[in-house]
Amino acid sequence: MTAPLHEAHPAGPGRALPDTQQGMRRRNLARVMHTLRAEGPLSRAAVASHIGLTRAAVSSLVDELIRSGLLEELGPERPGRVGRPGSALAVSGHGPAGIGAEIGVDHLAVCAVDLRGEIRARAVRHGVNRGRSPEPVTAELTDLVRQVVAEAESLGLWPAGLAVAVPGLVARDARTVVRAPNLDWHDTDIGALLPAEFAPTVGNEANFGALAELWLGDGTPHDFLHVSAEIGIGAAVVVDGRLLHGTRGFAGELGHVPVHPDGPGCPCGGRGCLEQYAGEEAVLRAAGLEPGEDRVGLLSHRATDGDENVRRALREAGEALGIALTGAVNLLDPENVVLGGALAGLAPWLLPSLRQELAKRTAGPACPVTVSELGPEGPLLGAAHSVVRAVLDDPARVAERA
Amino acid sequence: MTAPLHEAHPAGPGRALPDTQQGMRRRNLARVMHTLRAEGPLSRAAVASHIGLTRAAVSSLVDELIRSGLLEELGPERPGRVGRPGSALAVSGHGPAGIGAEIGVDHLAVCAVDLRGEIRARAVRHGVNRGRSPEPVTAELTDLVRQVVAEAESLGLWPAGLAVAVPGLVARDARTVVRAPNLDWHDTDIGALLPAEFAPTVGNEANFGALAELWLGDGTPHDFLHVSAEIGIGAAVVVDGRLLHGTRGFAGELGHVPVHPDGPGCPCGGRGCLEQYAGEEAVLRAAGLEPGEDRVGLLSHRATDGDENVRRALREAGEALGIALTGAVNLLDPENVVLGGALAGLAPWLLPSLRQELAKRTAGPACPVTVSELGPEGPLLGAAHSVVRAVLDDPARVAERA
């Protein structure tokens, strides 16, 4: 009943499909889906004119997509148009759904997103995961997943795959958490601990956050650097609309860029890494506060109340971010930098010193820094939408299984 | 008689070609060329089995490529093979040639490379270009280009395009030098100063050096960071076999990554940039030497002779490179780092401290650092080969013009 088909590293509309007649048909199925997702509802004729195929070719593609439950017919188009009325087509709200999940340091979350991009079911459980072993955490997550899937199924949806965001480095196998220092997990095959029937894949939370920004953000460019934080500081590099993964899948470790090379030692082996100045715990320490559960809430509360120690600590964190980002911007030349995750909530106090540091280290106009509107929801949404995207990018894989 | 057809940003075998029947044929033409370039000489049957097409389909493609002068027939295959003897095919040594050029701080160079990858003609002129205006420099370069083209034509080749490497930032139009501080050029349309009949494009020398490494290096991975230097320090990021250009075309500015954020001011607007510690002039200054013409030669000569000041200066430059590269490796997770350009000649004195710095700042195994075997020839070869690659990647564009 489930069709495990999504990819951890979506490559855009049909990009990796083989260059054969059959591959061409599969790419054209993807074009129909993406056109209707972006522009729909549309008639067959309108779809044909959008993607430059004949109406007969589009009809055959549409028939296959309707049979697989990916498209639905809305009935005759509203009158007033020229020619014989066609039946309007739309992406199905009852077909496959992407199941996204997040293992946070202090919470677990799961949601189901349909092909139209609507969140149809969700569940959250608060509680500290730090220091717990992976088995009970993934067991608890699996309960939440089953709960969300049951709710989605009651709405006529079926799970097309499960993507799980974790705050750590994930190998390119999209299963193994190599290092998640803030959970105290390392070299663990998390994929094996998740229910196989949902074809789970695992990814870094900063990467999923960046994909959410790319797909759901308002006017997000196709080349940007997404900086996020829970306790650590992660970043994701998006180039030409695609995630830069790195050889081992570890690209984007902004938190370990040296800021003051003779600074304090870091568990990574380095000295003076960004995380030593701008990580949540470093900021709490600099502000003279104890790390508790809602660290960002505490910092933003105190800063709002005018606590000078907290404001100074955040200002200095912003400076350190500005230095590390100067290097990153010089290397990558992104169109902008987006602050997401927990950092988004602290932006009012981080941004002024961050922007000032970037500007004073740049001869021309400095790279713009904006704040994500998705905030801490980004990684969860990115995970769910990565499954949805994989369906849109290769609908034939669903069709084969439907 | 020339066919201007190369692209500044080659995208790999036919990657950008349209997804139509005609596009498929164009991609298949490219497959035939790449197969014969990598594996040739081969019979039509062998090509067909390599690329998974029928022999009839391959024959039709081969006929077109022979007509365009891109392939040649070597006569009957040597006996001893099973079946009717086929005629062996090879990439032509008399067809289009890529013209590469380099505007260096102290020299101009031009070469012609045929489709087989052989250098067939070359010319070099030494003399300081720094501080000269672009017009006389490009006029002199044009003389060299015409001289090399005439020599290539006398060998039965014809120029398929001209690519020019410059030590500076080049806009994505592949014409405009936005900033070349070591030539003292800025915002100059160099493309307009070069002979239009060769369809000139302009690119950053570090980028062309990285492409040369990718295409010609022995066992170069598809994900690496190429660091090179003339007076400035540049880098190029290769991801999945493609150059990362950046939004404005400025990616890879490793020389302006902050190493000691409170260090000396840099003309870029920053403070303590890598170039202030590891650029040629900084190293000469630290060693107490005057900058002259053959700066790298002077440094390597003195270091070989055991000059302690020079060795210390190079050791410190290696440390600074190690700090900047720690950040770059954390952000990009490349398979390795390649030292090219002038840096390759100084590697014996830079590498130990560079590697030590990288290793001590990395918890696991540090990213390997290797030395380019192409040395200072890289950018020139990369430029010429970029034209050749563009022909191999879309042979139909030559066919249309032949």
- The amino acid present at A235, given as its one-letter code, is A
Q: Which whole number is the average pLDDT over B272-295?
A: 89
Average pLDDT, chain A: 89
The mean pLDDT value for B368-390 works out to 93
Which residues are B369's β-sheet partners? B337
Contact assessment for residue A222 and residue A241, using Cβ atoms and an 8 Å cutoff: yes
Span A115-126, average pLDDT: 96
pLDDT of residue B102: 97
Give the closest residue to B200 by CA, choosing from B127, B124, B146.
B146
Confidence of residue B86 (pLDDT cuts 50, 70, 90): low
Nearest Cα residue in chain B from A255: B330
- Give the CATH H-level superfamily of domain A218-373: ATPase, nucleotide binding domain (3.30.420.40)
Least confident piece of the model among A291-295, B287-291, B343-347, B370-374: A291-295
Is B170 a residue whose pLDDT tops 50? yes
- Determine the residue of chain A that is closest to B225 in CA distance: A331
Closest to B333 (Cβ–Cβ): which among A19, A250, A271? A250
Is the separation of the CB atoms in B336 and B304 below 8 Å? no
Answer whether B346's CB lies under 8 Å from B376's CB.
Answer: no
Residue B23: list chain A partners with CB under 8 A.
none
What are the CA-CA distances from residue B129 to residues A352, B145, B184 (Å)? 42, 17, 9
Please give the average per-residue pLDDT across B7-36, as a whole number.
68
Closest by Cα among A324, A269, A260 to B361:
A269
What pLDDT does B6 receive? 36
Residue-wise pLDDT for B22-67, tens only, equals 888 899 999 999 999 999 799 999 999 998 889 999 999 999 999 9
Q: Which of A274, A102, A105, A293 is nearest to A184 (CA)?
A: A105
pLDDT value of residue B401: 54
Residues of chain A contacting residue B239, judged by C-beta atoms under 8 Å apart: 239, 244
Q: Tell me what the mean pLDDT of segment A267-281 comes to.
A: 91
Nearest chain A Cα to B263, which residue? A260
pLDDT of residue A121: 97
Rank A73-82, A270-279, B21-30, B75-84 by mean pLDDT and report only the highest. Answer: A270-279
Run of H or E residues at A228: strand A224-229
Region B262-273: mean pLDDT is 91
Substitution target in B332, B336, B360 with the highest count of A β-carbons within 10 Å is B332
Q: Closest approach of chain B CAs to the CA of A32, in angstroms? A: 14
In this prediction, residues B67-91 reach a mean pLDDT of 74
Put simply, the answer to whether A330 touches B254 (Cβ < 8 Å) is yes
Which candidate from B27, B250, B269 shows the least CB-CB separation from A361? B269
Report which DSSP code applies to A191.
Answer: G
d(CA A260, CA A125): 39
The amino acid that residue A156 corresponds to is G
The angle at the Cα of B45, spanning B39 to B49, to the nearest 5 degrees, equals 65
pLDDT digits (tens, 9 = 90+) for A344-357: 889 999 999 999 99
pLDDT bracket for residue A1 (50, 70, 90) = very low
> For residue A158, what pLDDT is reported?
95
Structure tokens at B185: 């050029």
Give the pLDDT score at B2: 34
With bands split at pLDDT 50, 70 and 90, how would you rate the model's confidence at B14?
Answer: very low
C-beta atoms of B247 and A221 within 8 A: yes
Task: Tell me the CA distances in angstroms from A128 to A108, A156, A193, A214, A292, one per residue in order.
Answer: 9, 34, 19, 30, 10
pLDDT at B326: 96
* Beta bridge partners of residue B95, listed in sequence order: none
Q: Which residue among B237, B327, B364 places its CB closest to the CB of A258?
A: B327
* CATH class assigned to A1-216+376-402: alpha beta
What pLDDT, on the 0 to 100 scale, is given for residue A255? 93
Tell me which chain A residue has its CA closest to the CA of residue B242.
A239
What is the Cα–Cα distance from B85 to B322, expressed in whole angstroms? Answer: 58
The shortest C-alpha distance from A191 to chain B (Å) reads 23
Residues of chain B with pLDDT > 90, as a percent, come to: 71
Alpha carbon of A141 to those of A16, A94, A104, A154, A383: distances in Å? 32, 24, 11, 20, 14
**Is there a contact between B24 and A19 if contact means CB atoms under 8 Å apart?**
yes
Residues in chain A closer than 8 A to B257 (CB atoms): 326-327, 330-331
The interface pTM score, or ipTM, of the predicted complex is 0.88
Instruction: Give start-end residues of each CATH 3.30.420.40 domain in chain A.
Output: 1-216+376-402, 218-373
What average pLDDT does the segment A232-258 reach?
93
How many residue contacts between A and B have a Cβ separation below 8 Å?
Answer: 128
Residues from chain B contacting residue A251 (CB–CB below 8 Å): 331-333
Q: In whole angstroms, what is the distance from residue B299 CA to residue B289 CA?
A: 9
CB contact under 8 A, A247 and B333: yes
What pLDDT digit, counting tens, does each position of A168-208 carry?
A: 999 999 999 998 888 899 999 999 999 999 999 999 999 99
For B333, the closest of A246, A261, A331 (CB atoms) is A246
Residue of A nearest to B367 (CA): A247
Q: Nearest Cβ partner of B331 from A251, A326, A363?
A: A251
| A254 chain-B contacts, CB cut-off 8 A | 330-331
Pick the CATH number of B1-215+376-402 from 3.90.330.10, 3.30.420.40, 2.60.40.10, 3.50.40.10: 3.30.420.40
Give residue B157's pLDDT band: very low, low, confident or very high (50, 70, 90). very high
Is the pLDDT at A88 greater than 50? The verdict is yes
Return the ∠ at Cα B66 (arms to B64 and B72), rounded to 5°.
Answer: 155
pLDDT band at A2 (very low <50, low <70, confident <90, very high): very low
Statement: residue A392 has pLDDT above 50: yes
Q: Quote the Cα angle for B381-B383-B389, to 5°.
A: 95
> HSE on the CB side for A13, CA within 13 Å?
15
A75: left (phi over 0), alpha (psi -120 to 50) or beta: left
First to last CA, chain A: 8
Residue B189 has pLDDT above 50, yes or no: yes
Query: Residue B400's pLDDT is what?
Result: 57
Give B-chain residues touching A323 at CB under 8 angstroms. 258, 261
- For residues A169 and A375, the model is more confident at A169
Residue of A nearest to B336 (CA): A247
For residue B254, what is the nearest residue in chain A, using CA coordinates? A331
Average pLDDT, chain B: 89
Confidence of residue A96 (pLDDT cuts 50, 70, 90): very high
User: In the prediction, which pLDDT does A310 show?
Assistant: 95
* Tens of pLDDT, residues A218-233: 888 999 999 987 678 9
A221 contact residues in B (CB cutoff 8 A): 247
Q: What is the mean pLDDT of residues B245-250?
A: 92
Distance CA B186, CA A391 (A): 48
Instruction: Give the model's pLDDT for residue B297.
Output: 87
Q: How far is CA A274 from CA A127, A221, A297, A376, B313, in A?
A: 28, 25, 21, 21, 28
pLDDT single digits (tens) B323-332? 999 999 999 9
Percent over 70 (pLDDT), chain B:
91
The terminus-to-terminus CA distance of chain B in angstroms comes to: 8
**Comma-separated ranges of CATH 3.30.420.40 domains in chain B:** 1-215+376-402, 218-373
Phi, psi (5° rounding) for residue A3? -120, 95
Mean pLDDT of A46-51: 92
Residue A173 confidence (pLDDT): 93
